[in-house]
Amino acid sequence: MTCQSNYQRYYYDSIKLRLFHITLPDDRDGPILFYDALGISLEENTYHELFMRMENCNGACSGIVEICRFSRVQKIDIQQQFMSRFNQFRFLTKMTDEQGEGPFILDEILAKPPYVGMEGIWEKFKLEVARYYIQQLSLVTGIQVDLSR
């Protein structure tokens, strides 16, 4: 597996009450790019202020909380939970051993015949998993999130 280029990390700024993400460059000398929750580049003064607080991200007054992404083990577990619902997919559990740090491996597998019909069910399953994690984040941060829609 190749490393994912331009790896993104997600954060919550509890001082300015906003979600944002950064993109780390492939080249260590390249710039770290900051984006708001909509994927729009941040203004220079906002970028500078966040960059300075990110330098001391672990400090008590930084106000920045990293939103953790799924680990390889979590991705394998989520995919195996999905596949356990379908007996004919038992052999695919071995494929999840190939899971890397990038996207779910089932995204790639279920996009190909003969599994393409399962792709919609998998997408709904991922949305339910995301809903659960968003609710947990909401409880931790105190941000009210309406997931009823």
How far is Cα 137 from Cα 33, in angstroms, rounded to an integer? 24
Q: What is the arrangement of strands in the sheet containing 18-23, beginning at the earlier edge strand?
A: 33-36, 18-23, 8-13, 64-67
With b for 16 or more beta-carbon neighbours within 10 A and e for fewer, the 11-43 pattern comes to bbbeeeeebbebeeeeeeeeeeebbeeeeeebe
Q: What is the pTM of this model?
A: 0.58
Give the residue, 102 or 44, on which the prediction is more confident.
44
pLDDT of 57: 63
Domain boundaries, the chain: 8-67, 72-141
pLDDT of 2: 32
User: Residue 5: which pLDDT band, with cuts at 50, 70 and 90?
Assistant: very low
pLDDT digits (tens, 9 = 90+) for 121-134: 999 998 888 888 77
pLDDT digits (tens, 9 = 90+) for 62-120: 788 777 778 888 888 888 888 888 766 666 666 677 787 778 888 888 888 888 888 88
Read off the DSSP letter of residue 64. Answer: E
pLDDT digits (tens, 9 = 90+) for 111-122: 888 888 888 899
Average pLDDT of span 50-55: 84
pLDDT of 1: 29
User: Residue 60: which pLDDT band, with cuts at 50, 70 and 90?
Assistant: low
